[in-house]
Structure 1
Amino acid sequence: MSNTVPKIAQYKQIQNDILDKISTGYYKKDDSIPTELELSKTYNVSRVTVRRATDNLVAKGILTRTPGVGTFVSRNPATQKIAKLKSFTQEMIELGIKPSTKVCTFSIKKADDKIARKLNLESDSMIYFIERIRYGNNEPLAFEKTYMSVESNPELSIKILEESKYNYIEKVKKLKIGYSYHQTSPILPPDKIAKLFNIDKQTPIIKIGNTTYFEDGTILDYTELYFNSPKYQLNYIKSR
């Protein structure tokens, strides 16, 4: 039996990439996306594969297609508020678990093109790069890589990051966090993560690409989260 994670179909990769570009503001509401021919050249696939990806997004109401005119963004998928948004600290406290955080990396650098798009910033904007280990009762439950704008958060510090970032943003800065957009995928842990979680490299874990938005639609941060899945179950509470 193979231990590798199944490869994602090409049309799903294209679909996810388009969704990601919409959620991060690269494509905005009413923008036209590239033609099927342009997309087929970009992704080096057939137009049939591209059409399957865009058909799915049209069916979900995220894209709309006008014959002879083009395909346009009709809404941002991140505005679907399908789950209660809680900080790690809040979740641990509610579960009766003692939370703690270790900041491994806290640095400032220029954003590359990928991260600039994720944060809706100009290329080469100055950003924080943060790595944190989140513990529950002294056990490592999650590892985070976070990217944030320096200009928007000039006062950010290790002390703030060792506690609750959400709590600081909402209670100290008085800014309201609106929602998060998650892209979830099962992966086999990189060596560094497997060692941290004390698990075999063939044990699947959950990785989430998470973009957090304020109520006005601006972006707080982009975080890649790796969960110690054998010990920490990711749960959502859906609400109307």
Structure 2
Amino acid sequence: MVQKKTPQYKQIENELLNQIRLGYYKKEDLIPTEMELAEKYNVSRVTIRKALDKLVNLGLLRRVSGVGTFVQEQVTKEKFPQLMGFTEEIINMGLTPHTNVSAFQVLSASINIARILKLNEGDPIYYFKRERYANEDLFLLETSYMSVDQNPEMSIQILKGSKYQYFEKVRGEKISYNEHTVTAIHPSTETAKLFRISEDTPIIKVANITHLENGNILDYTEQIHNSQKFQLHYIKQ
């Protein structure tokens, strides 16, 4: 059976829904305009309007004429126990993990990212992208944000290894739990090429917030899984 590609408006609807779940957008926040969203996702305003219509009908967004679209309600969230780190999981599978850090820079935190990391707007944050391999196969694409003030020693060398192991074994800071939302998506043209799959192949995107036992947020990471090779797996306790 040929699987139908998820419509663009539905993918955008799911993306916005997950951003509300994570607290990227909070109640009474004004979300970007239809034009701004159309430019961001490279679609028509009609497609954006269709995505927003469903969230308005669900009572999660409300439109104010002449002003914009606001978040009306938050979405109930569930916390999940800690996931095994990628490096540990790949080793347990009998494969050899490898990480390439393709971007690493310091930025000023936007209000949305600052909320997730429990920082102030404008605080310095690390922005980094990692490509996670098992043997020669690309399994994960990661984009992460992390506080600079709380982690001044962070480096590309550290990020080439296991982030979880570094925090728990080197810094002695235990990870309490992960909070994540999962969205089924179809890959962009670039992602499809990297994963060597068709753009019609369903994959998953995981937005993950890692909480430390000391109450700090370790990081906020968006992962795109090459689901043909690497499935999300966790155990609820």
Q: Normalized against structure 2, the TM-score is what?
A: 0.73
Which of 38, 46, 49 is equivalent to 2:58?
49
Q: Secondary structure at the match of 1:232?
A: coil
2:150 aligns to what? 152
Which whole-Å CA distance do the structure 1 matches of 2:99 and 2:15 have between them? Answer: 33
1:176 aligns to what? 174
Q: Secondary structure at the match of 1:206?
A: strand
Q: 1:8 to 1:47 in 2, by over 3 A?
A: closer
Q: Secondary structure at the match of 1:106?
A: strand
Which whole-Å CA distance do the structure 2 matches of 1:14 and 1:87 have between them? Answer: 27
Superposed structure 1 runs of 4+ greater than 6 Å apart: 9-15, 43-48
Which whole-Å CA distance do the structure 1 matches of 2:169 and 2:125 have between them? Answer: 23
Q: Secondary structure at the match of 1:171?
A: helix
Which of 17, 20, 23 is equivalent to 2:22?
20
What is the aligned-residue identity percentage? Answer: 39
Which whole-Å CA distance do the structure 2 matches of 1:13 and 1:143 have between them? Answer: 17
Deviation per CA, 1:91-123, whole angstroms, max 9, x where unpaired?
011111111101101111111222112212111
Which whole-Å CA distance do the structure 1 matches of 2:17 and 2:153 have between them? Answer: 37
2:129 aligns to what? 131
Question: 1:214 and 2:216 equivalent?
Answer: no
Question: 1:166 and 2:164 equivalent?
Answer: yes
Question: Which consecutive residues of structure 1, in runs of 5 or more, have no partner in the other structure?
Answer: 28-32, 55-71
Which whole-Å CA distance do the structure 2 matches of 1:156 and 1:231 have between them? Answer: 30
Q: 1:101 to 1:187 in 2, by over 3 A?
A: same
2:193 aligns to what? 195
Q: 1:5 to 1:179 in 2, by over 3 A?
A: farther
Deviation per CA, 1:19-68, whole angstroms, max 9, x where unpaired?
322xx7x87xxxxx66xxx9xxxx88898732xx69xxxxxxxxxxxxxx
Does the aligned pair in 2 maintain the 1:10–1:49 contact within 8 Å? Answer: no
Does the aligned pair in 2 maintain the 1:89–1:164 contact within 8 Å? Answer: yes
Q: 1:189 to 1:13 in 2, by over 3 A?
A: closer
Q: Normalized against structure 1, the TM-score is what?
A: 0.73
Instruction: Please report how far the alpha carbon of residue 210 of structure 1 lies from its aligned counterpart in structure 2 after TM superposition.
Output: 0.4
Does the aligned pair in 2 maintain the 1:140–1:197 contact within 8 Å? Answer: yes
Q: 1:49 to 1:107 in 2, by over 3 A?
A: same
2:95 aligns to what? 97
